[in-house]
Amino acid sequence: MIKALRSLFLPALMAAVFTGARAQDTVKIGEFASLTGKEAAFGQSSHKGTLLAVEELNATGGILGRQVELITEDNQSKQGESATIVKKLISRDKIIALLGEVASGRSLEAAPIAQNYKIPMISPSSTNPRVTEMGSYIFRVCFIDPFQGTAMAKFAKDSLHLKKVALLTSVSSPYSVGLAKYFKETFAAIGGEITIEQKYSEGDKDFKAQLTAIKAAGVDGIFVPGYYTEAALISKQARELELNFPIFGGDGWEAPQLIEIGGKAMEGTYYSTHYSPENSSPAVQNFVKKFRARFAGETPDAMAALGYDSAMVLADAIKRAGTTDGPKLRAALAATRNYDGVTGRTTIDPHRNATKAAVVITVKDGQFKFVESIAP
């Protein structure tokens, strides 16, 4: 409540008091993230990656001779909150570009606003295709769900040798619905069978009913294209019902909380994601080292790596454009070719998406382990 009131009145007040103060002395980059709430693990990781990138840029002289100022706002993982804070970032803080979000649903909320004000927006890790379809100013530095869904369908068929799979989709999340759709199309096309489809809504905690129905259908795996809190609870309840076959999902699973909440139930689960800290390439190892030094020995996950890459791709585009002017910066971003980042080589395609390889991770003895890499 108080937050809503504050965001209504303060900007107007501030604008009245501080108009014209401190013009263009820093490059202001806005970030909106789920720093608290249900998907806080995503927001925190992504934010740490972005922060590391900005600190690095500033340590080496900033961009265009100016220091970079990162202004971060929290949407509490809530629907509706992103629109408010993005409007605030654009109208009050006068940001020149916007970074965010992990969850596709919340990126979709912010995208029309950024497009409207001609502020280039880069989503670090929203994988739903609709995000960049919102307009010509919306970009992303990760792969999209049609590829991720296809990759997991092939992985289920070829590597896990599954024939009959159940789908358990979150109907209130565009990410989950999209990923389920692409998985289903490919899995059916390569000779697999989707035996049963069950649904739930974000925030549900009881999945026993759906899982009992899945058990009765007699499948040999469950695809759960949701986020980590639900994925962990689903796996836990599935194991309680003695469903001991592979449960697998997408990059929404990538968070330490997956193992914290799920515990032993996560053994033998798989998910696809953007990068693995076990990758031996110098770019990845260098990033892991810097991240650990900055954040008390924490190992960066895919969201952190993409958060880092999103800021670096933006910085690269600003340097090439030579200005922070919206339309010119947009053109420079669209012209990004073969940018070498932590999560691989980024080329922005005509639909403003990045084409990259996916990585499959499993949980073994309470640890995330690299399984295989799937090329686009």
Q: Which is nearer to another protein, 50 or 237 (CB)?
A: 237
* Cα 43 from Cα 102, distance rounded (Å): 7
What string of DSSP letters covers 239-271? HHTT--S-EEE-GGG-STHHHHHHGGGGTTEEE
Other C-beta atoms within 10 Å of 131: how many?
28
Q: Per the omega criterion (within 30 degrees of 0), is the bond before 101 cis?
A: yes
Q: Closest distance between another protein and the C-beta of residue 300, in Å? A: 19
- Binding segment toward another protein, per CB under 8 A, in 32-40, 83-91, 173-181, 320-328: 32-40
* Cα 107 from Cα 352, distance rounded (Å): 14
* Cα 143 from Cα 351, distance rounded (Å): 12
Interface with another protein (CB under 8 A), residue from 12, 14, 188, 241:
241
Restricting to residues 184-213, which ones interact with another protein according to CB under 8 A?
Answer: 197-201, 203, 205-206, 208-210, 212-213
Q: Closest distance between another protein and the C-beta of residue 254, in Å? A: 16
Considering the rule CB under 8 A, would residue 171 count as an interface residue with another protein?
A: yes
The distance of Cα 8 from the centroid of its chain, to the nearest Å, equals 28
Q: Closest distance between another protein and the C-beta of residue 36, in Å? A: 4
Q: Which is nearer to another protein, 26 or 36 (CB)?
A: 36
* Cα 167 from Cα 161, distance rounded (Å): 16
Q: Which is nearer to another protein, 27 or 168 (CB)?
A: 168
Considering the rule CB under 8 A, would residue 1 count as an interface residue with another protein?
A: yes
User: Can you say whether residue 304 is alpha, beta or left, with left for phi > 0 and alpha for psi between -120 and 50 degrees?
Assistant: alpha
Q: Which is nearer to another protein, 101 or 309 (CB)?
A: 101
Q: Which is nearer to another protein, 74 or 309 (CB)?
A: 74
Q: Closest distance between another protein and the C-beta of residue 297, in Å? A: 20
Q: Closest distance between another protein and the C-beta of residue 203, in Å? A: 7
Which tokens sit at 119? 């502020």
* Cα 78 from Cα 362, distance rounded (Å): 29
Among all chains, which residue has been given the structure tokens 């969201």?
A: 303
Q: Closest distance between another protein and the C-beta of residue 302, in Å? A: 19
Closest CA to 307 of 112, 118, 122: 122
Other C-beta atoms within 10 Å of 15: how many?
11
Considering the rule CB under 8 A, would residue 38 count as an interface residue with another protein?
A: yes
Q: Closest distance between another protein and the C-beta of residue 286, in Å? A: 30
Q: Which residues of 94-112 are buried (b: 16+ CB within 10 A; e: fewer)?
A: ebbbbbbbbbbbbbbbbbe
Q: Which is nearer to another protein, 207 or 308 (CB)?
A: 207
Q: Which is nearer to another protein, 75 or 310 (CB)?
A: 75
Q: Closest distance between another protein and the C-beta of residue 328, in Å? A: 39
**Size of the chain, expressed as the number of residues it contains:** 376
Interface with another protein (CB under 8 A), residue from 133, 158, 193, 240:
240
Closest CA to 85 of 36, 132, 134: 36
Interface with another protein (CB under 8 A), residue from 72, 77, 126, 235:
77
Restricting to residues 217-236, which ones interact with another protein according to CB under 8 A?
Answer: 229, 232-233, 236
Which tokens sit at 220? 């040999």
Considering the rule CB under 8 A, would residue 261 count as an interface residue with another protein?
A: yes
Give how many residues touch another protein by CB under 8 A.
34
3-state SS class at 71: strand
Which tokens sit at 207? 């999945």
Q: Closest distance between another protein and the C-beta of residue 226, in Å? A: 13
Restricting to residues 132-161, which ones interact with another protein according to CB under 8 A?
Answer: none
3-state SS class at 374: strand
Q: Closest distance between another protein and the C-beta of residue 255, in Å? A: 11
Considering the rule CB under 8 A, would residue 216 count as an interface residue with another protein?
A: yes
Residues that bind another protein (CB under 8 A): 1, 36-38, 40-41, 76-77, 171, 197-201, 203, 205-206, 208-210, 212-213, 215-216, 229, 232-233, 236, 240-242, 257, 260-261
